[in-house]
A and B are shown apart, each in its own frame.
Chain A
């Protein structure tokens, strides 16, 4: 007789091997269905792992960028509100200057106005020392102390604190007071001169100060627009970060997560296959010529 002979041991070992293969596949499918993960360790997809790591790290970074963005936009809101009040304060000072520049105003009226301007000066010092979360907004990087003392002397630093709001994207997270209050126009010196001019009944100086106050208002408004610009940059960064986070999460899910329907179908199919294989194995192992003789 020629051809292949199927020895009993060969049939037995083949059946054992086949059942082992299906059993291993079934175990994998059960694991996938339970964890919901197609890739759970580096050997599952070695080439993809650096990408998975980058997506996990990137997604985590985006969450922190958004936290920093929330923080700086809140800070901008407080700073803008303070500068709005500074603008109002200067506008009021300008109104007083215009009215006090008139030759018809007497010295006692100017003395009374001087008291109001002094109050505005004090208010300006207060606004210049505005803080958010215990950080003085206009003290630069030295934000744990006041930006200005009562005499209008700058106590802060000339460096601007920053915050990271995106990959290689840094934004101001505080301001240098001298840029805001002592840029082209020294607001403290201006109000101080104004008080002196009022008490000394110096009309010429008062007239001269109206123009300076006007420039001061413009200076503050200009700074507010700079804050507004940074605010927009932060908002754009937030949109980008949210979008990137979504894309990264989707890509990560696409890479590591198993399709639940596919995983369940695979599991059920393998369960049927395993049961069928067991029945075939039982039949194959029990078939023998000895049964018939």
Chain B
């Protein structure tokens, strides 16, 4: 028959189990709003019964483990999605900055200057010999060239800023990769229990941040460690971390590489997250700059050709109005002739060398360039600039829409994860009541045994 002393031990096992439950519930409650925290629960089991006098007598409860509720597949899906959503966000934000250079609301964009330039030519048709009107054409042309320069410079500076931001993010990523490696070691060493659970939460939080920053993938090993991949290359394996390297190449494109034993491997095409979004945005901005260069080059060439075919106020063949350095970038380097700024009579408005002040034949040809398909042989300069702005607008709208959609998917996954593995304070309150009741019941057992022992003692 079981002894009363043994029953005290059984009661104590209940007290210990209830205390573990209360401790776990309070840990859950205090971490209810901690990012990435997964609810923990006490794992208990019946202690093996003991055969006493032919009877199998229960020995109480065993507190086996404190388990962290987690689902590595759903967790990984969240991390991947956070990379996709961050990439879309980063791209949308970066492109929104590019849009500033195509904004006409302050009346100083390319379209405004282009309109002003052609308006000045239109005004000059009323009197091609009028020096004030000629000067207006020259100044409007200079303002147009400045506008192309400013826009191109703004986009180039933006690319550099975004590139610097990507490099800074890569530096953060490298620190985090080292932290994951360190945590991998700690998790493998801890082996289990609430300590390992909290370390895993901490590691998963970092994986989430890594996902947001460069969109990696991870697999989980049997010892609890995570292997992190970028473009199929392991960047963290157990306690070892490799480095991510981000740099801008000669074409202005961003290159993302991972250090491997033999050097570096290019993973530019494989990254997402903030760095991936910046790679995409920089590439798009590069295409805007190239399109702008084509517009400027074709327009300037066409205008110069018309100017060269005409005659200035003195009856001399027209000299170039615009000059640029195509190798450096037509939009960045285009300049309006300083000679014409100094002497607007050099504008070749006349169609004949007779120096007639009212000869506006070539001026009309210049004016026709407003609607002539001079850009890539298919678009007028005005339409090409509009189309470029429209393209920028579409890209931004699309990026914002993607960002919104991907964020919604991420929120759904987060909600699902939180629903399954997050802390419900009400549930914890009930757990607390339950564990409190269990504690009281176990204490009552001990109290009863105590009374029984007292009664027994009085009999002696």
Contacts and interface: CB of A to CB of B under 8 A. Distances in A.
A163 interface: yes
A41 B364 CA distance: 33
Contacts of B405: none
Q: Is chain B's interface secondary structure helix, strand, loop, or mixed overall?
A: helix
A163 B128 CA distance: 10
A5 B428 CA distance: 12
A267 to B, nearest CB: 20
B429 A288 contact: yes
A81 to B, nearest CB: 20
A9 B358 contact: no
Contact of A157 (B32, B128, B354, B426): B354
Contacts of B118: 57
A49 B390 CA distance: 6
Contacts of B34: 9
Interface centre among B37, B359, B420, by most chain A C-beta atoms within 10 angstroms, is: B359
A13 to B, nearest CB: 7
A8 B356 contact: no
Contacts of A293: 429, 433
Interface in A160-193: 161-164, 170, 173-174
B419 interface: yes
A67 interface: yes
A54 B99 CA distance: 19
Interface in A271-293: 288-290, 293
Nearest to A35: B105
B390 A46 contact: yes
Contacts of A163: 125-126
B422 A9 contact: yes
A62 to B, nearest CB: 11
A92 interface: no
Contacts of A162: 125, 360, 364
Contacts of A104: none
B422 A47 contact: no
B392 A42 contact: yes
Contact of A8 (B102, B386, B423, B433): B423
B418 interface: yes
A49 B358 CA distance: 37
A278 B430 CA distance: 28
B198 interface: no
Contacts of B352: 159
Interface stretch (A105-113, A138-146, A196-204): A138-146
B356 A64 contact: no
B358 A50 contact: no
B389 interface: yes
A49 B32 contact: no
A68 B125 contact: yes
Interface in A27-52: 37, 40-47, 49-50
Given A6-B424, A42-B99, A164-B122, A141 B419 contact: no
Given A141-B359, A290-B429, A9 B33 contact: yes
B102 A42 contact: yes
B125 A13 contact: no
Given A43-B400, A56-B115, A164-B367, A13 B383 contact: no
For the complex of A and B, the 9 pairs showing the least CB-CB separation, nearest first, are A7-B422, A42-B393, A46-B393, A161-B358, A141-B358, A43-B396, A10-B418, A141-B356, A289-B429
Interface of A: 4-10, 12-14, 17, 37, 40-47, 49-50, 53-54, 56-57, 60-61, 64-65, 67-68, 71-72, 133, 135, 140-144, 157, 159, 161-164, 170, 173-174, 288-290, 293
11 contacts: A7-B423, A8-B33, A10-B415, A42-B396, A56-B112, A68-B125, A142-B357, A143-B357, A144-B357, A174-B358, A290-B429
